[in-house]
Amino acid sequence: MACNPDDVEHQPTSYACAVESPTLHESLRKYWSGVRDLTPLGLFVTSPLERTASMTRHAFLFDPESRSLAKQAFDDAALADGEVRIRVTFCTICGSDLHTYTGRRSAPPQCVLGHEIVGLVDGWGGTDIPTDVFEQPLSIGQRVTWAMAVGCGSCFYCTRGLSQKCESLFKYGHESIRQHPTGGLAESCVLIPGTPVIPIPDSIPDAVACPANCATATVAAALRLTRQTHAIEHASAMIVGAGMLGITAAAQLAEAGARSIIVVDRDAKRLQLVQRFGATTILSPDDCDIPQQIKQLTEGRGVDIAFDFAGFLPAVECCLESIRIGGLALLAGSTFPSDPLQLSPETILRRMLTIRGLHNYITEDLVEAVRFLEAAQIKYPFAELVSQPYPLDQAEQAFEFALAERPIRAAIQLGDGSQLDLATE
């Protein structure tokens, strides 16, 4: 379907049409078939538009066996048709990076971690100028982020609005280094053809923009799914887990007009923090019985909507026990194995519960995420969620700091940080 960029700019909900164009699907399909035939040496043609012919850069490769990061130099390989090289300027360390680093989540060998990335367009392969999600041409030096996961656009799931479950999904920050690094712990990251790229408005600092393509977009997806069955405006909502997802959800719910936003976490500091992001009530399971307390706060009924971003079984159970008859429990935190949930079908039936799972997001959620950050960063102190960044050379220290100190986000900064505008505490 053709999409007029002028129309798109005025209709945020239709942004997704840009990534559903048959042209893009066709180029991506060709790329995938090319990748299957690619030898380790590759035989792609060097583009006249590729700015830097061959430059030595550095990446940190994660070894899942020893759980260590090792710096490696590599020369820029020629870019294939449709590939875009990004000079990485900032990368925040997401919870899933930490799960991989600690061995809780598996990773391929020689993996370049980091998927919450902002960078500058540095070149592309082929003669066609690549475009962003609004079908506007990219330019050298333009500051962008992109979808963390890229679907093929034509498989069973991609054609049913579930491109994050594509049968041949590609995920940044989760792949072995091949011709190019495709993660954030590297001086350059090469985007595969068909990657939904979105420009970052100048008003958003790198540190604020970085989580857009993971946490912020996932929360946007959570609200999109919620709206399919439940109104958010005037709703009572509960959020379990006051990490980046939960804090972002509080702000997005507040902006969407939720009447009450109750946030549950054990960490007193995080609970204090989330009050500056729209939370109306904070609760710790160490201080009270959460479902009981929720009932007291909601005239004995329970909340309309509960979001789990913590993922642990008791957190999920807490959500299910705290929603009212006809309520929605949206589960987005359990990205790791746990014991099975004990829930009788009769309970689901008699209480008319809606239980939804969410994993990652689709392109329109990323567009909404960037729009949200641009508008809301003035009202909510998003810059304070990211700690003082480490240089790339200290990537391992950044991970150790993230594990020891549990900041909302640890960060890696590359280059001179001229885009950085971290708030001072």
Is 216 near Zn ion (CB under 5 A)?
no
User: How far is residue 266's CA from residue 32's CA, in Å, rounded to a whole number?
Assistant: 45
Is 210 near Zn ion (CB under 5 A)?
no
Nearer to Zn ion, 34 or 42 (CB): 34
Give me the 334-373 binding string for Zn ion, x by CB under 5 A, dash otherwise: ----------------------------------------
Nearer to Zn ion, 96 or 252 (CB): 96
Is 152 near Zn ion (CB under 5 A)?
yes
Alpha carbon 170 to its chain centroid, in Å, reads 14
Nearer to Zn ion, 60 or 172 (CB): 172
Is 408 near Zn ion (CB under 5 A)?
no
Binding residue (CB under 5 A) for Zn ion from 19, 86, 204, 214: 214
Nearest distance from C-beta of residue 96 to Zn ion, angstroms: 5
Give me the 164-183 binding string for Zn ion, x by CB under 5 A, dash otherwise: --x-----------------
Is 125 near Zn ion (CB under 5 A)?
no
Coil, helix or strand at residue 355: strand
Nearer to Zn ion, 213 or 322 (CB): 213
Nearer to Zn ion, 174 or 230 (CB): 174
Nearer to Zn ion, 232 or 310 (CB): 310
Nearer to Zn ion, 156 or 397 (CB): 156
User: How far is residue 60's CA from residue 395's CA, in Å, rounded to a whole number?
Assistant: 8
Look at residues 62, 184, 182 and name the one whose alpha carbon lies nearest to residue 111: 62
Measured CA angle at 86 (ends 84, 90), to 5 deg: 150
Is 242 near Zn ion (CB under 5 A)?
no
Pairing outcome for strands 84-93 and 116-124: antiparallel
Segment contacting Zn ion by CB under 5 A, of 7-15, 90-98, 339-347, 376-384: 90-98
Nearest distance from C-beta of residue 30 to Zn ion, angstroms: 14
Coil, helix or strand at residue 333: coil
Nearer to Zn ion, 94 or 232 (CB): 94
Is 150 near Zn ion (CB under 5 A)?
no
Is 88 near Zn ion (CB under 5 A)?
no
Per DSSP, helices labelled H in 268-406 are 268-274, 290-297, 313-322, 345-350, 363-376, 395-405
Is 158 near Zn ion (CB under 5 A)?
yes
Q: How many residues does the chain have?
A: 425
User: How far is residue 363's CA from residue 221's CA, in Å, rounded to a whole number?
Assistant: 10
Pairing outcome for strands 84-93 and 410-413: antiparallel
Is 151 near Zn ion (CB under 5 A)?
yes
| Count of C-beta atoms within a 10 Å radius of residue 226 | 23
Residue written as token pair 């069955």: 229
User: How far is residue 403's CA from residue 414's CA, in Å, rounded to a whole number?
Assistant: 21
Alpha carbon 45 to its chain centroid, in Å, reads 32
Interface residues with Zn ion (CB under 5 A) are 94, 96, 151-152, 155, 158, 166, 214
